[in-house]
Structure 1
Amino acid sequence: MIGIVDYGRGNLRSVEKALEKVSFEAMIMTAPQDLQNVDGVILPGVGAFADAMNALKRGEWIEPIIEFARSGRPFLGICLGMQVLFEVGEEHGEHAGLGLLSGRVIKFPTGRKVPHMGWNSVSLLQPSRLVEGIPNESFFYFVHSYYALPENSKDILGTSDYGVVFPAIVGKDNVWGAQFHPEKSSPWGLQLLSNFGRLVNEYAALSGN
Protein backbone atom coordinates (compact mmCIF):
# COMPACT_ATOMS: atom_id res chain seq x y z
CA MET A 1 0.00 0.00 0.00
CA ILE A 2 1.23 3.47 -0.95
CA GLY A 3 0.33 6.36 1.31
CA ILE A 4 -0.08 9.92 -0.03
CA VAL A 5 0.50 12.61 2.60
CA ASP A 6 -2.39 15.07 2.90
CA TYR A 7 -1.03 18.23 4.50
CA GLY A 8 -3.02 20.71 2.42
CA ARG A 9 -0.28 21.36 -0.15
CA GLY A 10 -0.64 18.84 -2.96
CA ASN A 11 -2.63 17.44 -5.87
CA LEU A 12 -3.61 14.38 -3.90
CA ARG A 13 -6.39 13.04 -6.08
CA SER A 14 -4.34 13.44 -9.26
CA VAL A 15 -1.53 11.37 -7.77
CA GLU A 16 -3.96 8.77 -6.45
CA LYS A 17 -5.67 8.45 -9.85
CA ALA A 18 -2.31 8.13 -11.63
CA LEU A 19 -1.33 5.28 -9.30
CA GLU A 20 -4.67 3.60 -9.91
CA LYS A 21 -4.06 3.88 -13.65
CA VAL A 22 -0.88 1.82 -13.29
CA SER A 23 -2.65 -0.65 -10.97
CA PHE A 24 -1.22 0.34 -7.60
CA GLU A 25 -3.39 0.78 -4.54
CA ALA A 26 -2.99 4.04 -2.65
CA MET A 27 -4.56 5.76 0.32
CA ILE A 28 -4.66 9.45 1.17
CA MET A 29 -3.26 9.81 4.67
CA THR A 30 -4.85 12.51 6.81
CA ALA A 31 -2.90 11.87 10.03
CA PRO A 32 0.63 10.70 10.89
CA GLN A 33 -0.76 7.50 12.45
CA ASP A 34 -1.68 6.38 8.92
CA LEU A 35 2.03 5.87 8.21
CA GLN A 36 1.77 2.64 10.19
CA ASN A 37 -0.52 1.18 7.54
CA VAL A 38 1.58 1.77 4.39
CA ASP A 39 4.76 0.36 2.87
CA GLY A 40 5.73 3.42 0.81
CA VAL A 41 4.97 7.13 0.88
CA ILE A 42 4.50 9.89 -1.68
CA LEU A 43 4.83 13.47 -0.48
CA PRO A 44 3.28 15.79 -3.09
CA GLY A 45 3.49 19.55 -2.93
CA VAL A 46 2.46 22.81 -4.55
CA GLY A 47 3.32 26.30 -3.29
CA ALA A 48 6.06 27.80 -1.13
CA PHE A 49 8.75 25.95 0.83
CA ALA A 50 8.08 27.67 4.17
CA ASP A 51 4.30 27.20 3.88
CA ALA A 52 4.80 23.50 3.20
CA MET A 53 7.07 23.02 6.20
CA ASN A 54 4.70 24.99 8.43
CA ALA A 55 1.80 22.83 7.26
CA LEU A 56 3.76 19.66 7.96
CA LYS A 57 4.65 21.01 11.41
CA ARG A 58 1.04 21.91 12.22
CA GLY A 59 -0.06 18.44 11.22
CA GLU A 60 2.73 16.88 13.35
CA TRP A 61 4.03 15.10 10.24
CA ILE A 62 7.71 16.05 10.37
CA GLU A 63 9.18 13.55 12.84
CA PRO A 64 6.98 10.63 11.69
CA ILE A 65 7.93 11.28 8.05
CA ILE A 66 11.64 11.42 8.87
CA GLU A 67 11.35 8.23 10.92
CA PHE A 68 9.47 6.51 8.07
CA ALA A 69 12.06 7.49 5.48
CA ARG A 70 14.95 6.44 7.69
CA SER A 71 13.34 3.04 8.23
CA GLY A 72 14.29 2.08 4.68
CA ARG A 73 10.78 2.10 3.24
CA PRO A 74 10.39 3.69 -0.23
CA PHE A 75 9.73 7.44 -0.14
CA LEU A 76 9.04 9.77 -3.09
CA GLY A 77 8.71 13.55 -3.02
CA ILE A 78 7.00 15.32 -5.95
CA CYS A 79 7.66 18.96 -6.96
CA LEU A 80 7.59 20.96 -3.70
CA GLY A 81 7.51 17.59 -1.94
CA MET A 82 10.92 16.92 -3.48
CA GLN A 83 12.29 20.31 -2.46
CA VAL A 84 11.42 19.91 1.22
CA LEU A 85 13.48 16.71 1.31
CA PHE A 86 16.54 18.98 1.43
CA GLU A 87 18.05 20.74 4.42
CA VAL A 88 17.32 24.38 3.57
CA GLY A 89 15.02 26.34 1.28
CA GLU A 90 15.77 29.96 0.36
CA GLU A 91 12.25 31.03 -0.65
CA HIS A 92 11.34 34.22 1.32
CA GLY A 93 14.32 33.75 3.65
CA GLU A 94 16.04 30.59 4.85
CA HIS A 95 13.84 27.80 6.16
CA ALA A 96 14.72 24.33 7.41
CA GLY A 97 13.54 21.36 5.37
CA LEU A 98 13.25 17.69 6.30
CA GLY A 99 16.99 17.12 5.87
CA LEU A 100 16.62 13.69 4.24
CA LEU A 101 18.93 14.85 1.44
CA SER A 102 21.91 17.17 1.80
CA GLY A 103 21.68 20.52 0.02
CA ARG A 104 19.51 23.57 -0.43
CA VAL A 105 16.75 24.89 -2.65
CA ILE A 106 17.49 28.12 -4.52
CA LYS A 107 15.73 30.44 -6.96
CA PHE A 108 16.29 30.42 -10.70
CA PRO A 109 18.69 33.19 -11.74
CA THR A 110 17.30 36.40 -13.19
CA GLY A 111 16.70 36.50 -16.91
CA ARG A 112 14.34 33.55 -17.09
CA LYS A 113 10.58 33.70 -16.78
CA VAL A 114 9.42 32.09 -13.56
CA PRO A 115 7.76 29.89 -12.74
CA HIS A 116 9.34 27.43 -15.13
CA MET A 117 6.14 25.93 -16.51
CA GLY A 118 5.70 23.33 -19.23
CA TRP A 119 7.32 20.29 -20.79
CA ASN A 120 11.08 19.78 -20.59
CA SER A 121 13.31 16.83 -21.42
CA VAL A 122 15.23 15.06 -18.67
CA SER A 123 18.79 13.80 -19.14
CA LEU A 124 19.31 10.63 -17.12
CA LEU A 125 22.75 10.63 -15.49
CA GLN A 126 22.89 7.29 -13.74
CA PRO A 127 20.87 4.09 -13.47
CA SER A 128 18.14 3.85 -10.88
CA ARG A 129 15.23 1.51 -10.30
CA LEU A 130 13.01 4.60 -10.26
CA VAL A 131 13.66 5.38 -13.93
CA GLU A 132 13.78 1.86 -15.39
CA GLY A 133 12.17 1.72 -18.83
CA ILE A 134 12.22 5.49 -19.30
CA PRO A 135 14.20 6.62 -22.36
CA ASN A 136 16.85 9.28 -21.92
CA GLU A 137 15.63 12.79 -22.84
CA SER A 138 11.97 11.91 -22.23
CA PHE A 139 9.69 14.86 -21.55
CA PHE A 140 8.00 15.67 -18.24
CA TYR A 141 5.75 18.48 -17.01
CA PHE A 142 7.27 21.10 -14.66
CA VAL A 143 5.85 23.99 -12.61
CA HIS A 144 8.39 25.59 -10.24
CA SER A 145 10.31 28.79 -9.47
CA TYR A 146 13.04 27.23 -7.30
CA TYR A 147 15.28 24.23 -7.77
CA ALA A 148 17.40 21.94 -5.62
CA LEU A 149 21.15 22.20 -5.33
CA PRO A 150 22.27 18.88 -3.79
CA GLU A 151 25.49 18.84 -1.81
CA ASN A 152 26.42 15.48 -3.30
CA SER A 153 26.31 15.15 -7.09
CA LYS A 154 25.75 11.40 -6.66
CA ASP A 155 22.24 12.23 -5.46
CA ILE A 156 21.34 13.68 -8.89
CA LEU A 157 19.76 11.01 -11.08
CA GLY A 158 18.58 13.28 -13.87
CA THR A 159 18.75 16.92 -14.95
CA SER A 160 16.79 19.36 -17.05
CA ASP A 161 17.77 22.70 -18.55
CA TYR A 162 15.96 26.02 -18.12
CA GLY A 163 18.79 28.46 -18.74
CA VAL A 164 20.54 26.66 -15.91
CA VAL A 165 20.94 22.89 -15.61
CA PHE A 166 19.03 21.77 -12.52
CA PRO A 167 18.22 18.41 -10.87
CA ALA A 168 14.96 16.96 -12.17
CA ILE A 169 15.25 13.61 -10.36
CA VAL A 170 17.17 13.01 -7.15
CA GLY A 171 17.67 9.98 -4.97
CA LYS A 172 19.68 8.44 -2.18
CA ASP A 173 19.05 4.93 -0.87
CA ASN A 174 15.26 4.60 -0.43
CA VAL A 175 14.45 8.32 -0.78
CA TRP A 176 13.71 9.85 -4.20
CA GLY A 177 12.37 13.10 -5.54
CA ALA A 178 10.97 14.33 -8.86
CA GLN A 179 10.90 18.07 -9.54
CA PHE A 180 8.30 17.52 -12.28
CA HIS A 181 4.76 16.21 -11.84
CA PRO A 182 4.77 12.54 -12.87
CA GLU A 183 1.00 12.41 -12.48
CA LYS A 184 0.76 15.00 -15.29
CA SER A 185 3.62 13.59 -17.40
CA SER A 186 2.05 10.66 -19.19
CA PRO A 187 3.34 8.17 -20.33
CA TRP A 188 6.79 8.42 -18.77
CA GLY A 189 5.50 9.95 -15.57
CA LEU A 190 3.22 6.95 -15.20
CA GLN A 191 6.23 4.70 -15.81
CA LEU A 192 8.08 6.40 -12.96
CA LEU A 193 5.09 5.96 -10.62
CA SER A 194 4.81 2.32 -11.71
CA ASN A 195 8.49 1.80 -10.92
CA PHE A 196 7.97 3.33 -7.49
CA GLY A 197 4.95 1.10 -6.92
CA ARG A 198 7.00 -1.99 -7.72
CA LEU A 199 9.68 -0.87 -5.24
CA VAL A 200 6.99 -0.52 -2.59
CA ASN A 201 5.59 -3.97 -3.35
CA GLU A 202 9.06 -5.50 -3.18
CA TYR A 203 9.67 -3.91 0.20
CA ALA A 204 6.30 -5.15 1.46
CA ALA A 205 7.06 -8.70 0.28
CA LEU A 206 10.49 -8.72 1.90
CA SER A 207 9.14 -7.36 5.18
CA GLY A 208 6.20 -9.76 5.22
CA ASN A 209 3.55 -7.04 5.08
Structure 2
Amino acid sequence: MRIGILDYDVGNITNVIRCLERISSLAFSSKREIQILRISNPDIIFTCDKILLPGVGAFGVAITNLRKKNLDNAIIEFAKSGRFILGICLGMQLLFEKSYEFGTHDGLGLVQGEVIKFGSEDSVIQDLSHEKGKKQDNITPNTSNQSLNLFCQNNPNHLKIPHIGWNKNFKTQNHCIIKDMPEEFYLYFVHSYHAVCGKENLVAYCDYGVSFPSIVAHENVIGMQPHPERSHDYGFKIMRNFLEL
Protein backbone atom coordinates (compact mmCIF):
# COMPACT_ATOMS: atom_id res chain seq x y z
CA MET A 1 0.00 0.00 0.00
CA ARG A 2 1.39 3.38 -1.09
CA ILE A 3 0.54 6.37 1.12
CA GLY A 4 1.29 9.81 -0.32
CA ILE A 5 2.01 12.78 1.97
CA LEU A 6 1.55 16.00 0.02
CA ASP A 7 4.46 18.41 0.36
CA TYR A 8 3.48 21.93 -0.68
CA ASP A 9 5.79 23.94 1.61
CA VAL A 10 3.20 24.35 4.36
CA GLY A 11 3.20 22.54 7.68
CA ASN A 12 5.21 20.03 9.63
CA ILE A 13 5.18 17.02 7.35
CA THR A 14 7.98 15.29 9.24
CA ASN A 15 5.82 14.58 12.30
CA VAL A 16 3.07 13.09 10.14
CA ILE A 17 5.58 10.83 8.38
CA ARG A 18 7.04 9.70 11.72
CA CYS A 19 3.56 8.90 12.99
CA LEU A 20 2.81 6.79 9.93
CA GLU A 21 6.18 5.05 10.14
CA ARG A 22 5.51 4.14 13.75
CA ILE A 23 2.08 2.75 12.93
CA SER A 24 3.34 0.83 9.90
CA SER A 25 6.07 -0.76 12.03
CA LEU A 26 3.41 -2.25 14.31
CA ALA A 27 1.13 -5.13 13.44
CA PHE A 28 -2.33 -4.08 12.39
CA SER A 29 -5.24 -6.02 10.99
CA SER A 30 -4.73 -5.31 7.29
CA LYS A 31 -1.23 -6.86 7.38
CA ARG A 32 -0.25 -4.87 4.29
CA GLU A 33 3.21 -3.52 3.65
CA ILE A 34 3.13 0.28 3.72
CA GLN A 35 5.26 2.55 1.56
CA ILE A 36 5.22 6.22 2.57
CA LEU A 37 5.93 8.77 -0.16
CA ARG A 38 6.57 12.50 0.19
CA ILE A 39 4.91 14.02 -2.88
CA SER A 40 5.23 17.40 -4.58
CA ASN A 41 4.73 16.11 -8.15
CA PRO A 42 1.05 15.83 -9.14
CA ASP A 43 1.72 12.85 -11.42
CA ILE A 44 2.95 10.76 -8.47
CA ILE A 45 -0.34 11.24 -6.63
CA PHE A 46 -2.11 8.78 -8.93
CA THR A 47 0.34 6.01 -8.06
CA CYS A 48 -0.86 6.12 -4.43
CA ASP A 49 -3.61 4.16 -2.75
CA LYS A 50 -4.35 6.93 -0.25
CA ILE A 51 -3.09 10.49 0.28
CA LEU A 52 -2.75 12.78 3.29
CA LEU A 53 -2.97 16.55 3.08
CA PRO A 54 -1.29 18.01 6.19
CA GLY A 55 -0.92 21.73 6.78
CA VAL A 56 -0.13 24.46 9.27
CA GLY A 57 -0.36 28.16 8.44
CA ALA A 58 -2.56 30.48 6.39
CA PHE A 59 -5.24 29.22 4.02
CA GLY A 60 -4.40 31.70 1.25
CA VAL A 61 -0.73 30.74 1.13
CA ALA A 62 -1.57 27.05 1.23
CA ILE A 63 -4.10 27.05 -1.62
CA THR A 64 -1.77 29.24 -3.70
CA ASN A 65 1.07 26.77 -3.18
CA LEU A 66 -1.14 23.85 -4.17
CA ARG A 67 -2.10 25.64 -7.38
CA LYS A 68 1.48 26.62 -8.22
CA LYS A 69 2.50 22.97 -7.97
CA ASN A 70 -0.62 21.85 -9.90
CA LEU A 71 -1.57 19.73 -6.92
CA ASP A 72 -5.08 21.14 -6.53
CA ASN A 73 -6.57 19.53 -9.62
CA ALA A 74 -4.64 16.32 -8.95
CA ILE A 75 -6.21 16.10 -5.47
CA ILE A 76 -9.68 16.66 -6.92
CA GLU A 77 -9.17 13.97 -9.56
CA PHE A 78 -7.78 11.60 -6.94
CA ALA A 79 -10.94 12.12 -4.89
CA LYS A 80 -13.09 11.37 -7.95
CA SER A 81 -11.28 8.04 -8.29
CA GLY A 82 -12.82 6.92 -4.99
CA ARG A 83 -9.51 6.57 -3.17
CA PHE A 84 -9.28 7.93 0.37
CA ILE A 85 -7.97 11.38 1.29
CA LEU A 86 -7.28 12.62 4.82
CA GLY A 87 -6.83 16.35 5.42
CA ILE A 88 -5.24 17.38 8.73
CA CYS A 89 -5.65 20.81 10.41
CA LEU A 90 -5.18 23.37 7.60
CA GLY A 91 -5.34 20.41 5.23
CA MET A 92 -8.90 19.75 6.41
CA GLN A 93 -9.85 23.40 5.90
CA LEU A 94 -8.54 23.28 2.32
CA LEU A 95 -11.07 20.54 1.55
CA PHE A 96 -13.95 23.01 1.98
CA GLU A 97 -15.42 25.39 -0.59
CA LYS A 98 -14.26 28.69 0.87
CA SER A 99 -12.26 30.34 3.66
CA TYR A 100 -12.46 33.85 5.09
CA GLU A 101 -8.96 33.87 6.56
CA PHE A 102 -7.34 37.21 5.66
CA GLY A 103 -9.71 37.74 2.74
CA THR A 104 -11.86 35.32 0.79
CA HIS A 105 -10.29 32.25 -0.79
CA ASP A 106 -11.76 29.37 -2.75
CA GLY A 107 -10.85 25.92 -1.47
CA LEU A 108 -10.82 22.52 -3.14
CA GLY A 109 -14.58 22.14 -2.80
CA LEU A 110 -14.47 18.46 -1.85
CA VAL A 111 -16.59 19.01 1.29
CA GLN A 112 -19.52 21.41 1.34
CA GLY A 113 -19.03 24.26 3.81
CA GLU A 114 -16.85 27.22 4.74
CA VAL A 115 -14.06 28.16 7.13
CA ILE A 116 -14.51 31.13 9.48
CA LYS A 117 -12.73 32.68 12.46
CA PHE A 118 -13.59 31.94 16.08
CA GLY A 119 -15.65 34.79 17.54
CA SER A 120 -16.45 36.40 14.19
CA GLU A 121 -19.98 37.58 13.47
CA ASP A 122 -20.42 34.55 11.22
CA SER A 123 -19.25 32.21 13.98
CA VAL A 124 -22.85 31.60 14.98
CA ILE A 125 -23.43 27.89 15.25
CA GLN A 126 -25.63 25.75 17.42
CA ASP A 127 -24.50 24.69 20.88
CA LEU A 128 -24.43 20.90 20.66
CA SER A 129 -23.82 20.23 24.34
CA HIS A 130 -27.36 18.89 24.78
CA GLU A 131 -26.55 16.15 22.25
CA LYS A 132 -23.62 14.70 24.19
CA GLY A 133 -23.99 11.00 24.76
CA LYS A 134 -26.64 10.54 22.08
CA LYS A 135 -26.02 8.15 19.21
CA GLN A 136 -27.49 9.68 16.11
CA ASP A 137 -26.37 10.48 12.61
CA ASN A 138 -27.89 13.92 12.21
CA ILE A 139 -26.18 16.24 14.67
CA THR A 140 -24.64 19.35 13.17
CA PRO A 141 -23.66 22.95 13.72
CA ASN A 142 -26.50 25.15 12.53
CA THR A 143 -25.30 27.24 9.59
CA SER A 144 -28.47 29.35 9.47
CA ASN A 145 -27.05 31.83 12.01
CA GLN A 146 -29.95 31.33 14.44
CA SER A 147 -28.28 30.06 17.58
CA LEU A 148 -25.17 30.83 19.62
CA ASN A 149 -23.43 29.10 22.41
CA LEU A 150 -24.15 31.36 25.41
CA PHE A 151 -20.47 31.90 26.16
CA CYS A 152 -19.74 33.11 22.66
CA GLN A 153 -22.91 35.19 22.53
CA ASN A 154 -22.05 37.16 25.63
CA ASN A 155 -18.26 37.17 25.34
CA PRO A 156 -17.27 36.78 21.67
CA ASN A 157 -13.99 38.61 22.22
CA HIS A 158 -12.97 36.64 25.32
CA LEU A 159 -11.99 33.49 23.46
CA LYS A 160 -8.26 32.86 23.51
CA ILE A 161 -7.27 32.59 19.89
CA PRO A 162 -5.68 30.47 18.60
CA HIS A 163 -7.39 27.49 20.19
CA ILE A 164 -4.38 25.51 21.44
CA GLY A 165 -4.23 22.33 23.47
CA TRP A 166 -6.19 19.22 24.32
CA ASN A 167 -9.96 19.30 23.95
CA LYS A 168 -12.78 16.79 24.06
CA ASN A 169 -14.44 15.53 20.89
CA PHE A 170 -17.95 14.08 20.68
CA LYS A 171 -19.01 11.47 18.14
CA THR A 172 -22.05 12.22 15.99
CA GLN A 173 -21.89 9.08 13.87
CA ASN A 174 -20.05 5.77 13.78
CA HIS A 175 -17.75 6.54 10.88
CA CYS A 176 -14.92 4.17 9.93
CA ILE A 177 -12.27 6.82 10.70
CA ILE A 178 -13.23 6.67 14.40
CA LYS A 179 -13.92 2.94 14.52
CA ASP A 180 -13.55 1.36 17.97
CA MET A 181 -13.21 4.76 19.67
CA PRO A 182 -15.29 5.95 22.65
CA GLU A 183 -18.17 8.40 22.37
CA GLU A 184 -15.91 11.12 23.82
CA PHE A 185 -12.17 11.41 23.24
CA TYR A 186 -9.43 14.04 23.55
CA LEU A 187 -7.29 15.30 20.65
CA TYR A 188 -4.76 18.13 20.30
CA PHE A 189 -5.72 21.37 18.51
CA VAL A 190 -3.87 24.42 17.17
CA HIS A 191 -6.09 26.72 15.06
CA SER A 192 -7.77 30.12 14.85
CA TYR A 193 -10.38 29.27 12.21
CA HIS A 194 -12.98 26.51 12.16
CA ALA A 195 -15.26 24.89 9.61
CA VAL A 196 -19.03 25.18 9.31
CA CYS A 197 -20.66 22.27 7.51
CA GLY A 198 -23.91 20.35 7.15
CA LYS A 199 -24.99 17.46 9.34
CA GLU A 200 -24.41 14.92 6.58
CA ASN A 201 -20.66 15.60 6.73
CA LEU A 202 -20.23 15.85 10.50
CA VAL A 203 -18.41 12.94 12.18
CA ALA A 204 -17.38 14.57 15.48
CA TYR A 205 -17.48 18.01 17.06
CA CYS A 206 -15.66 19.96 19.76
CA ASP A 207 -16.70 22.83 22.03
CA TYR A 208 -14.61 25.99 22.26
CA GLY A 209 -16.90 28.94 22.88
CA VAL A 210 -18.97 27.52 20.05
CA SER A 211 -19.44 23.95 18.90
CA PHE A 212 -17.48 23.34 15.71
CA PRO A 213 -16.78 20.33 13.45
CA SER A 214 -13.58 18.56 14.47
CA ILE A 215 -13.86 15.58 12.11
CA VAL A 216 -15.78 15.63 8.82
CA ALA A 217 -16.28 13.27 5.91
CA HIS A 218 -17.85 13.24 2.48
CA GLU A 219 -17.71 9.80 0.89
CA ASN A 220 -13.97 9.00 0.53
CA VAL A 221 -12.80 12.48 1.63
CA ILE A 222 -12.07 12.85 5.36
CA GLY A 223 -10.84 15.85 7.31
CA MET A 224 -9.83 16.44 10.90
CA GLN A 225 -9.07 19.78 12.53
CA PRO A 226 -6.94 18.39 15.41
CA HIS A 227 -3.48 16.93 14.87
CA PRO A 228 -3.55 13.12 15.10
CA GLU A 229 0.24 12.98 15.01
CA ARG A 230 0.31 15.01 18.25
CA SER A 231 -2.66 13.32 19.93
CA HIS A 232 -1.03 10.16 21.28
CA ASP A 233 -3.20 7.03 21.51
CA TYR A 234 -6.45 8.34 20.02
CA GLY A 235 -4.62 10.24 17.29
CA PHE A 236 -2.63 7.13 16.42
CA LYS A 237 -5.85 5.11 16.42
CA ILE A 238 -7.38 7.48 13.86
CA MET A 239 -4.31 7.22 11.64
CA ARG A 240 -4.37 3.45 11.95
CA ASN A 241 -8.05 3.41 11.01
CA PHE A 242 -7.20 5.50 7.94
CA LEU A 243 -4.52 3.03 6.87
CA GLU A 244 -6.97 0.17 7.26
CA LEU A 245 -9.70 1.71 5.09
Same fold per superposition (TM over 0.5): yes
Alignment partners' CA distance in 1, 2:57 and 2:203: 24
Work out the percentage of aligned pairs sharing the same amino acid: 45
- What corresponds to 1:205 in structure 2? none
Is 2:160 aligned against 1:113? yes
Residue number among 25, 44, 48 corresponding to 2:54 in the alignment: 44
Does the residue aligned with 1:120 lie in a helix, a strand or coil? strand
Deviation string, structure 1 residues 11-39 (Cα, Å, up to 9, x no partner)? 21111111111114311112111112210
Alignment partners' CA distance in 1, 2:40 and 2:223: 21
- What corresponds to 1:54 in structure 2? 64
How much has 1:2 moved relative to structure 2? 0.8
Based on CA coordinates, which of the two structures has the bigger radius of gyration?
2
Query: 8 Å contact 1:3–1:28 — kept in the other structure?
Result: yes
- What corresponds to 2:183 in structure 1? 136
- What corresponds to 1:159 in structure 2? 205
Alignment partners' CA distance in 1, 2:89 and 2:229: 11
Alignment partners' CA distance in 2, 1:58 and 1:30: 11
Does the residue aligned with 2:46 lie in a helix, a strand or coil? helix
- What corresponds to 1:6 in structure 2? 7
Letter in 1 for 2:45: L
Deviation string, structure 1 residues 174-208 (Cα, Å, up to 9, x no partner)? 00000000000010000000000011xxxxxxxxx
Deviation string, structure 1 residues 134-173 (Cα, Å, up to 9, x no partner)? 21221100000000001x2110100001111000000011
Query: 8 Å contact 2:40–2:71 — kept in the other structure?
Result: no
Query: 8 Å contact 2:92–2:225 — kept in the other structure?
Result: yes
Deviation string, structure 1 residues 32-78 (Cα, Å, up to 9, x no partner)? 11112210000000001111101101111111110001110000000
How much has 1:117 moved relative to structure 2? 0.3
- What corresponds to 2:23 in structure 1? 22
Structure 1 runs not aligned, ≥5 long: 200-209
Q: TM-score, normalised by structure 2?
A: 0.79
Residue number among 85, 110, 113 corresponding to 1:103 in the alignment: 113
Residue number among 114, 124, 134 corresponding to 2:171 in the alignment: 124
Letter in 2 for 1:192: I
Alignment partners' CA distance in 1, 2:94 and 2:217: 13
Letter in 2 for 1:137: E
Residue number among 25, 28, 31 corresponding to 2:41 in the alignment: 31
Runs of at least 4 residues off by over 3 Å: none
Alignment partners' CA distance in 2, 1:111 and 1:136: 29
Alignment partners' CA distance in 2, 1:62 and 1:96: 11
The 10-residue stretch of structure 1 (77-86 or 27-36) with the greater mean CA deviation from structure 2: 27-36
Does the residue aligned with 1:7 lie in a helix, a strand or coil? coil
Q: TM-score, normalised by structure 1?
A: 0.93
Structure 2 runs not aligned, ≥5 long: 25-33, 120-156
What CA RMSD, in Å, does the superposition of the two structures yield over aligned residues? 0.9
Does the residue aligned with 2:181 lie in a helix, a strand or coil? coil
Alignment partners' CA distance in 1, 2:72 and 2:23: 29
Residue number among 60, 69, 76 corresponding to 1:66 in the alignment: 76
Residue number among 74, 80, 87 corresponding to 2:97 in the alignment: 87
How much has 1:111 moved relative to structure 2? 2.2
